[in-house]
Structure 1
Amino acid sequence: MFCIKCGEKLKRGDKFCKNCGQNQLAITNSEESDNNNLLGSEDHDNDIDDIERENELISSNGPQTVTIKKESFIEKIFKGAGVGGLVVGGGFLYISFTILQFLFVAFAGLSMIGLAISLFSEGSIIWGLVALFIGTPLAIGLASYFFIFFLALAILALIIWGIIYLFGFNISFGNVWDGIWLVIKVLILGGMAFFGISSFVQAVKKNELVSFFKENWFYILIFFFLFWLFF
């Protein structure tokens, strides 16, 4: 620490210079003015910095211009064609499904009627009546109820036939369909026979044969009718 007037080196805490007696705490007016000007310039610089920061925040957080991309006429056409194609395709599939179901049910019913007429012409009156009054409603009901199953079966047969045809085997679609249908017929009759025999064994054990035939005579008749129809 040095004297502000003569430059004499002073000790820490000395208020007066030992050489010239100058009070070290006294500051001239010019020095105060210089200090005030220095502080004022620093405050001014700080204010300018604050204004610049506020401008940056306003520019970054301000409203942004959103550019809306207008669709061209060609894009609108393709979009409309996509939605329209979906609607038209769905409607076409529904109409096709309805027509196929109607034709399938009608074919099943007419086939049984034709079978009954054929039996009548051959002299089989009883079997003709069975085919007409039992087989026809049964065929129509099964065709209507299991249409989706038969449709899936036809698609499966078509896929299998296509694979076999690609490998070079000369097998017709009818042969593939007959093979798959034979397996299904065996499963149907086998399942009916299994449950019928199981019920018959239980009735024998309980000595209830009369009630068994009373409750299951219709199913027994259907079993023999399907067996005759399938084979």
Structure 2
Amino acid sequence: MILSVNQIHKSYGNEKVLTGITFEIHKPQIVALVGPNGSGKSTLLNTITNLLAADQGEVTILGKSNKNPTIFREISFMQDNSVLYDYLTGYDHLQFIGDIQGITRKQLMQTAEIVGVDGYLNKKVAYYSLGMKQLLLLTLAIVNQPKLLILDEPLNGLDPSSAIKVRELLLQLVEQGTAILLSSHNLSEIDRVTSHVLFLKKGVLINKELSMSTEERYKKIFFDEG
């Protein structure tokens, strides 16, 4: 078992954000988390990685509680670019991860080259475009060769060629043994990488197997049913 999420509940004050979330990932594959803004996607990802504590429920990653800090040598969570420091270079960020996890400079640079950020690693992040920041975040997330990779809107800000490159990279990671849980609003791109889709509606997982595209299922769940 790579990931087990069992009856997760989370509230902010009197507002329920997640209600009884339960699902599992058993093998290397891409699983997409889909829902409109405010449906609880980011809260769920933050809860899985224990950046937010659940009110109830349990998350197990690679057979260990998500509260066990040792799991973070084998998983990665790509958040939004607010975690980057404008006054540091891209390489400064990579080196920080390398120092913490004992990753060699050679592996850092190989990963940067694979993603395509090696050409601007010596620039300060303040001068990065949104797409450049996204690619740096992805580099930071995969440099430790994680067994579970969690991505929050990984295609945000990418031009079409970069989006294609990231899609191909994610599929390669699965072939190499990485399970990927990603949230995205790009429904057509989701269809290109996976048929395993979790729909989150008002903090509740909607489990429906419908023989249609992700966009058609999205409309069916979020519009036809109110």
Instruction: Pick the TM interval, shorter chain.
Output: under 0.3
Pick the structure with more strand per residue.
2
Q: Which has the higher contact order (CA 8 A, sep 6+)?
A: 2
Which structure: larger Rg? Answer: 1
Pick the structure with more helix per residue.
1
